[in-house]
Amino acid sequence: MEPFVLANGLELPPVGFGTYKAAQGDDVGVLRAAIEVGYRYFDTASFYGTEGALGRAIRESGVPREEFFLATKLWKDEMGYENAKQACENSLKRLGVDQVDLYLIHWPRPDLVSDWRTLDRETWRALEELYYDGYTRAIGVSNFLPHHLENLGEEARIFPMVDQLEFHPGYPQIEAVEFCQRCDVLPQAWSPLGRMRMLSDPLLAGIAAAHGVTGAQVCLRYALQKGVMPLPKSSDPTRMAQNLDVFGFALTDDEVNALDAMPQTGWSGEHPDRDRTLV
């Protein structure tokens, strides 16, 4: 499959590796295994606590830094113009690099603050300057819905290049994904397997059996055919490899439509505009 291409021409591998809870302290075993399996795109965040371990795993891998694509995010309490610049500096230090490939705002509404519009714009202004100053090769957001993106667009010099969204069968966020694609924003899927909750669903299991693949591979192929870059995570090298092996089959239009229409399944319970609800 061809790489995904951002609005500024930067190319991304079709499948990335999510690092949330992928490392504890100095334990880089999972990350080292992911590199050995073949992953080169790694998604981390200041909130994840995996930046230091990821940087170490990359340095120890023997693979040149330029072969990796590193994305990280600033957390809710790091928003604001000055805070965002400091947050980026802190992330670079923890990763042990001079530049990241993608820098993101993690959530649009920290603690549901009332004046989120101004806070988001001030934070985004900092990201634009970080981009122009060469600290990151691309900038974007995470968990931003269309109205959050429109707010940034009212003053932005650069529109977000990426938007990470919870995306999987049973929670495809079709309106948000289509809005991103109309605006030349690459949608990425966090939790593309729905935290494994829907893999026993009869529809998904039937599609997997028809193609001789796993339910997880169906979820990832679904994302790719919807134009969404998936960011799966796993601690098992066999499953890591399976999650990269999603290019030998294709879902039919009927199968994609059926997955689009699945009842809500596997939702994390996280929503950017309200407090956490029941999962």
Kindly list the catalytic residues.
Answer: 48
Question: CB-hemisphere CA count at 13 Å for 150?
Answer: 6
Strand order in the sheet with 186-190: 17-18, 41-43, 69-74, 102-105, 139-142, 162-166, 186-190, 229-230
Query: What is the three-class DSSP state of 246?
Result: coil
Question: 219-250 as b/e, with b when 16 or more CB fall inside 10 Å?
Answer: bbbbbbbbebbbbbbbeeeebbbbbbebeeee
> What does residue 41 show for φ and ψ, rounded to 5 degrees?
-100, 125
Structure tokens at 178: 């289509």
d(Cα 38, Cα 16) in Å, to the nearest integer? 10
> What is the distance of C-alpha 118 from the center of its chain?
24
148 membership: H or E segment, kind and range = helix 146-153
Q: Which of 3, 2, 60 is nearest to 26 (CA)?
A: 60
